[in-house]
Amino acid sequence: MPQVKIIAKNFMDMVASLPAIKLDILYHNQFICEAILRSMPPLAKKYVLQMLYIDVPMTFKSLQEWVLADGSSKHQVAIDRLIQLRVLEVIDRKKETTYKLKPTFQTNLRKHLIYGGILSREPMPSNVVARLPTLEELDAYAHEQWECFLLQLISSGQAERSSSFSSSMMRIFQRGLLRQRDKEAPRLTESGFQFLLMDTNAQLWYIIREYISNSEEQGVDQADLIAFLLELSFHTTGEAYNLNTLADDQEAMIKDLADLGLVKLQQGRRERWFIPTKLATNLSVSLTDSSSRKQGFVVVETNFRMYAYSSSKLHCEILRLFSRVEYQLPNLIVGAITKESLYNAFENGITAEQIRLWETDLNRVEMTPAHFYDEFSSRDIFESASDFARVHGGLLWEDAKKMQMAVKAEIHMLMREHLRGNK
């Protein structure tokens, strides 16, 4: 089966593909410089900081002196990334190419390091806002919103409430994750299954990437949206920020972000505000390769019984994809991985890499309809029959000593003709 990998960490590729002028505007914002710095591979980050206070262009050779022979491939990856993000400018001289940090980026990052960045948005004073949710309440809210969204994404019937996303928007999210055959309910594809197994931040970036790609068609500037999201990740979790500090397109985006669990919207008597959750402030952590940090809570026994300590509807749905859920207790889902449930999963396109258990069983016994030939009167007839079968690609097995063979059913009639002809 083809390996389809969901590319969720390519948000920075999207940033890199923005036109140069737009990227230059983005780099005026200190926080965006920091977010972009954080998204780079480790060597690239080092090079940026080393070159931060060097005003003269550096030759390719002097850059190479920084790295040992072992690291030359990583070195090249880092340099390429820096050029791709337009952080490093290439100055082609006749003798050799030299590199310099992009002045906008350099100036703003210097300022950020020496003075520290201050956001343009201040949290609202506590006497104006009503009782703010505690960090635990906020976490629970974010988690619930996100799960609800995912549930709606993979099986619209299951969600308790529908989000404010239009059905066309949901279809765009579902593209590649779900497959719909005529008159059938939409089913999860292999990519969809992989998507569900990714950690929350990676899933979030995938959805946001689709959202932003689609925004151009709605007439909203991609660069503005990207800048807003990157800045959002630097806000303080749990603090209230007034909605009137947002531009129009940012305000439209905020409602969608609330549905995803990135912010919580609240209103008081006169003011309305949004509160960033951990999902929002952790966005920049996942811009790079983030390893999954989920704690395991699923126990699978050697008799294929399965116990999942979760009360989440979403988890139950995911488990139902490849196992037979037997009963659900308030904090435990008990099921069994059976042949039938796995065949069902395979039919849905879930590959064996994900469920290795019965794949080998499926492949162990292969059945081909065949005919068994015995009691040949002479060796010559046997050999000619065997050659005949082989030529027609139908010989499955033969035993020359006993003069027996098995031939594919497809050519059985031909064999009969041949044998009759020989007699």
Q: How far is CA 96 from CA 65, 99, 100, 289, in A?
A: 16, 10, 13, 34
Shortest separation between residue 138's beta carbon and other proteins, angstroms = 13
Shortest separation between residue 37's beta carbon and other proteins, angstroms = 7
Any idea of the CA torsion for 297, 233, 174, 349, to the nearest 10 degrees?
-40
The residue count of the chain comes to: 423
Nearer to other proteins, 86 or 235 (CB): 235
Nearer to other proteins, 70 or 182 (CB): 70
Shortest separation between residue 14's beta carbon and other proteins, angstroms = 20
**352: helix, strand or coil:** coil
Q: What whole-number distance in Å separates Cα of residue 214 and Cα of residue 11?
A: 14
Shortest separation between residue 33's beta carbon and other proteins, angstroms = 9
What does the DSSP 8-state code read for residue 175?
B
Nearer to other proteins, 27 or 234 (CB): 234
What does the DSSP 8-state code read for residue 410?
G
Place of tokens 């041949």: 418
- Interface contacts to other proteins, rule CB under 8 A: 34, 37-38, 42-43, 45-46, 49-50, 52-53, 65-68, 70-71, 74-75, 112-119, 234-238, 281-282, 284-285, 288-291, 293
Shortest separation between residue 113's beta carbon and other proteins, angstroms = 5
Shortest separation between residue 111's beta carbon and other proteins, angstroms = 10
Nearer to other proteins, 117 or 186 (CB): 117
Nearer to other proteins, 74 or 371 (CB): 74
Phi, psi of 344 (to 5 degrees): -60, -45
Nearer to other proteins, 290 or 348 (CB): 290
- Report whether 301 contacts 134 (CB < 8 A): no
- Report whether 196 contacts 318 (CB < 8 A): yes
β-pairing verdict for 324-329 and 305-308: unpaired
